[in-house]
Copies of this chain bind each other. A is one copy, B any other.
């Protein structure tokens, strides 16, 4: 029985399950040129006026052997990868992971893949990640910038990557960003507490230079000022997430300021800590203390009493981000930086309540 060498190797390869079929193998097997196969696979057959017979032959064979192009090689050659990086502070935060999911969907519809990663707010890690992805030819970056990322992002911009910041931004940089109306919403949130009859309203935030945090604080301060009330701010230096000490810092703060009748949290995990603290202090909500938090969370609806919150427009953020980055990637002209600021929504629950006059 005659077995030619070609088939023989074929058999070996099948047994080893090692060899991946390449465009070259297809060309050889079919006796046509690599170029032709490439054109057909990439849907340029019509454009290149390749005969229908040829197209069918190649397509059938490709389907039969289940050929998959090697993306690595494609990227290396074309400089594009159809990959967008979604780099946030912490992907386990539900705000970010929800946006990630929405973005992924939109990306997929446009032929893009999303790769997520978390910076943990460390510039070093973020820089490392950016470099890695750059050297893998990703097309664009969606980033919640940490401090110290300015020059990296400037580089990305000048190297013509798609870049769009969100949640916060870098004022010194002319880079597109999508944020929410932090200041305005916090003004309104504070006003809501004041309208309810609260006089001694504490604002609990993180010690942070990030724009969104500063804007939130600003909104609170402006509201207090315009109603003639003294601001009372606590900036938590570290976010100790150990359950054991959760809320201890806030508790100490509240012990010193016994007269506080409302607390406004700048972000939801601070509120979780706060709720722990209130419990240890036996504070009743909303009778002893009214509670409002920035950044809604499904727990706020489940907690008893339910907690009022300022909800960010998550779907809208995701849409705007994808629209923005796809625009950048599809247009030939250099990046025009755009700024979008989206409105939030105050969701009133049981933790904030108009006080009875007495």
> Which residues of A are interface residues toward B (Cβ below 8 A)?
17-18, 68-73, 75-76, 91-92, 94, 97-98, 100-101, 104, 113, 115-118, 131-132, 134-137, 155, 158-160, 243, 272, 275-276, 279, 298-299, 301-304
Contacts and interface: CB of A to CB of B under 8 A. Distances in A.
Contacts of A160: 17-18
Contacts of A134: 68
15 contacts: A17-B160, A18-B159, A68-B134, A69-B135, A70-B76, A72-B72, A73-B76, A76-B76, A91-B116, A92-B98, A101-B118, A115-B116, A116-B116, A272-B298, A303-B304
Contacts of A272: 298, 302
A133 to B, nearest CB: 9
Contacts of A94: 92
Main secondary structure of the interface of A (DSSP, over half): helix
A276 to B, nearest CB: 6
Nearest to A73: B76
A137 B159 CA distance: 26
Contact of A301 (B117, B136, B243, B304): B243
Given A17-B155, A97-B97, A275-B302, 17 more contacts: A17-B158, A17-B159, A17-B160, A18-B160, A68-B131, A68-B135, A71-B132, A72-B76, A91-B100, A92-B92, A104-B118, A115-B115, A115-B117, A116-B117, A243-B298, A243-B301, A302-B303
Contact of A75 (B18, B68, B72, B243): B72
Contacts of A113: 132
Give the 5 A-B residue pairs with the shortest CB-CB distance, closest first. Answer: A92-B97, A17-B158, A71-B135, A72-B76, A71-B136
A280 B159 CA distance: 56
Nearest to A96: B92
A264 to B, nearest CB: 19
A304 B302 contact: no
A299 B299 contact: yes
